[in-house]
Amino acid sequence: MNVDSQDLVSKMEGFSVQGMQGAAKNHQKRTSAIRSAIRDEINKALRQITKDPKARMHWAHYWRNVVQRYLVVVKGWPDNIPFVNLSSVSSALPDLEMLLRKWQSHAIYWRRIEEDEYEKLLQERNEKLEQGDVVEERRRA
């Protein structure tokens, strides 16, 4: 069934103690708490590398508000998890726990890029925009 055994056991335990609604709420609270911890790790690491105490991750405008502004990129992000806002990522606890562990162990990290690497990334991004592979988020007029 491709289900993590620990996740299944904790859900079954929650169900037996609190009933189905209680188990769902418990799972939702744990998922929310882990997402929050991941966001904190991402922002803490971004502030450390940029030396900007107000720096924070902007998923919707990652290119403009993070890469262009600070000349940093995320490295080590797992291929099986889309690089999107954590609210859009799978709510599977093992995936979220793995992301948190990787940020805490620095397996996923922010890396500074030089101007020439930025220009190369910009060229690749522009090509993807032209081909429609990447859609740029726009703010309302």
Please write the tens of the pLDDT for every residue from 59-112: 989 999 999 999 999 999 999 888 889 888 766 888 999 999 999 999 999 999
Mean of the pLDDT values across residues 120-129?
90
Judge whether 72 and 112 are in contact, CB under 8 Å. yes
Q: Please compute Rg for the chain using Cα positions.
A: 18
Mean of the pLDDT values across residues 117-137?
84
Position 128 scores a pLDDT of: 85
Residue 23: is its pLDDT beyond 70?
no
Residue 14: is its pLDDT beyond 80?
no
Of 117, 132, 27, the residue nearest 68 (C-alpha)? 117
